[in-house]
Structure 1
Amino acid sequence: MRPCHLLLPAVLALVSPSWAAPPAAHAGDYPTSGRVEYVLECMQKHDGKYEYLYKCSCVIDRIANALSYDDYVAMSVALRNQGLPGERGGVFRDAAAVKDMASRYKTIETGANKACAVPQQP
């Protein structure tokens, strides 16, 4: 027979409540701060109108369904920095992989904007 102290970890694993385990990450899990930053920036582009709170939230939700958070960050940074002048911007303008990432993100964001009735801003 095994001593009780050797069985304790196995028993605890079986009876421990599900709330004690860390939640599993789901596709589309973005930190709240990331979602808020996107919505605030989107609203600012549309003169801060309150109606865009819901529309911009819709857009980031659709982006979150299409991309992991890490991909979203990488792709949105690639797109945002396409116009960065000088040598530093060359990393974003010249590399084919970075151009592809920016293009893919722009396509996803454009589709989300259309679906959520957010007009494109220049």
Structure 2
Amino acid sequence: MILRAACLSLAFALPAAAEMLANDYPTEARAEYVFGCMAVNGQSQDALIRCSCSIDQIASILPYDDYVSAETVLRMRQGAGEAGAMFRGAPTMRTILADLRRAQAEAEMLCF
């Protein structure tokens, strides 16, 4: 009886844990992405739907910490001088951005 209860408890906990991992992006990050996406793709209902789909797909592929790292690299690359150059030229930074770009490409294929 105890084993059965433990199995049932685990069966209900696993989907909830998977959902938490798939939804680890805070609402603010999702909204910021959607606003930026809509600015580029038009301020329409269709753009809202497609941009929301896009960030959902990215979130399902790329953990939030990796997304934050990639966004940071993108922002730092815009800087001038030695700091900007470091973020533009380092192989690690290129790898971080490549992961984001792959997630964005997949999201674009599915949502746009």
Question: Which of 79, 83, 88 is residue 93 of structure 1 equivalent to?
Answer: 88
Task: Note the C-alpha offset of 1:83.
Answer: 4.3
5+ residue gaps in structure 1?
1-22, 118-122
TM-score by length of 2: 0.73
Match of 1:26 in 2: 20
Residues 1:65 and 2:60 are matched in the alignment: yes
Q: Which amino acid aligns with 2:60?
A: N
Task: Note the C-alpha offset of 1:55.
Answer: 0.3
Per-residue CA distance 1:18-73 (angstroms, 9 max, x = gap)? xxxxx868212211111111101100111322311110000100111111111111
TM-score by length of 1: 0.68
Task: Note the C-alpha offset of 1:80.
Answer: 4.5
Task: Note the C-alpha offset of 1:81.
Answer: 3.9
Q: Which amino acid aligns with 2:96?
A: M
The aligned length equals: 95
Match of 1:54 in 2: 49
Question: Which of 42, 45, 51 is residue 40 of structure 2 equivalent to?
Answer: 45
5+ residue gaps in structure 2?
1-15
Question: 2-side partners of 1:79 and 1:110: how far apart?
Answer: 16
Q: Which amino acid aligns with 1:88?
A: A
Question: Which of 81, 97, 104 is residue 102 of structure 1 equivalent to?
Answer: 97
Q: Which amino acid aligns with 1:40?
A: F
Change (3 A) 1:90 1:112: same
Q: Which has the higher contact order (CA 8 A, sep 6+)?
A: 2
| Contact residue 76 and residue 83 of structure 2 kept, 8 A | no
| Contact residue 34 and residue 48 of structure 2 kept, 8 A | yes
Instruction: Tell me which structure has the larger Cα radius of gyration.
Output: 1
1:27 is paired with a residue whose SS is helix
